[in-house]
């Protein structure tokens, strides 16, 4: 859907779904990100978090450590799977940003998506709702220098309800990884 269509559609949907006063939800996680909610329509219906919090993970150089992220998806909304076929909604993409020697090593472990025919896209879609978790095999090369690496786990996704799809967005989570020397 063209960006102009989203810009025109969103105010229309928001105006038809107003059931209470407008308010701004102050985040509880200490971030400076705010969610604007109009009635029951949230303009940020997905919240990402790192399972286990922001503690520094440890990995031996040349090895892999699993890091799990969770998407908390508001009731009535869904995102699309990592394996969503092209020609319809934007598939979920998870990648690492910011540290050249920290990479995804292997396949991201994801729950089995719900499959359903979506009349709006005219294709079968694979989607997640609720609180799906994704485990990323994060690896470092054997020649990596010891020390701490700070990087971002970025999730690019599209979120839809049965009435509207919001434009694709990318949310990032800060992660720290301590690389230890091989024994």
Q: If you write DSSP's letter for every residue of 32-64 in order, what string do you get?
A: S--EEEETTEES--EEEEETTTTPPEEEETT-E
Phi, psi of 84 (to 5 degrees): -60, 130
In this structure, are residues 30 and 23 in contact, taking their beta carbons and an 8 Å threshold?
no
The closest of 132, 122, 120, 182 to 157, measured between CA atoms, is 132
pLDDT reported for residue 120: 82
Residue 13: predicted pLDDT: 42
DSSP assignment of 96-154:
EES-TT-EE-SPPB-PPPEEEEETTTTEEEEEE-S--EEEEEEE--TTPPSEEEEEEEE
Q: Residue 20: CA atoms inside 13 Å, Cβ hemisphere, count? A: 8
pLDDT at 77: 97
Q: How much is the pLDDT for 6? A: 43
Per-residue confidence (pLDDT) for residue 29, from 0 to 100: 44
Tokens describing residue 24: 């701004």
With 0.85 as the threshold, say if the pTM is over it. Answer: no
Q: How far from chain centre, in Å, is Cα 57?
A: 20
The reported pLDDT for the residue numbered 43 is 75
- In the chain, which residues have pLDDT < 50? 1-39
Q: Would you state the CATH architecture of domain 45-180? A: Sandwich (2.60)
Q: Which residue has the tokens 């729950």?
A: 111
Handedness of CA 72, 73, 75, 78 (dihedral sign): negative
The residues, ordered by sequence, that sit 6+ positions from 75 with a Cβ below 8 Å of its Cβ are none
Domain with CATH 2.60.40.1250 in the chain: 45-180
Tokens of 109: 């472990």
Q: What is the pLDDT of residue 41?
A: 53
């Amino acid at each position: 859907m063209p960006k102009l269509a989203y810009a025109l559609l969103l105010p229309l949907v928001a105006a038809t779904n107003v059931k209470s006063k407008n308010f701004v939800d102050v985040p509880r996680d200490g971030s400076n990100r705010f969610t604007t909610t109009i009635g029951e329509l949230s303009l940020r219906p997905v919240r990402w978090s790192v399972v286990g919090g922001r503690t520094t993970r440890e990995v031996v150089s040349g090895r892999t450590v699993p890091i799990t992220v969770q998407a908390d998806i508001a009731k009535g909304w869904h995102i699309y799977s990592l394996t969503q076929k092209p020609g319809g909604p934007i598939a979920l993409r998870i990648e690492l940003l910011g540290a050249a020697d920290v990479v995804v090593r292997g396949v991201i472990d994801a729950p089995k998506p719900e499959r359903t025919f979506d009349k709006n896209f005219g294709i079968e879609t694979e989607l997640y709702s609720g609180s799906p978790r994704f485990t990323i095999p994060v690896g470092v090369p054997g020649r990596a220098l010891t020390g701490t690496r700070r990087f971002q786990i970025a999730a690019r996704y599209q979120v839809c309800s049965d009435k509207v799809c919001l434009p694709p967005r990318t949310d990032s989570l800060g992660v720290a990884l301590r690389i230890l020397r091989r024994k």
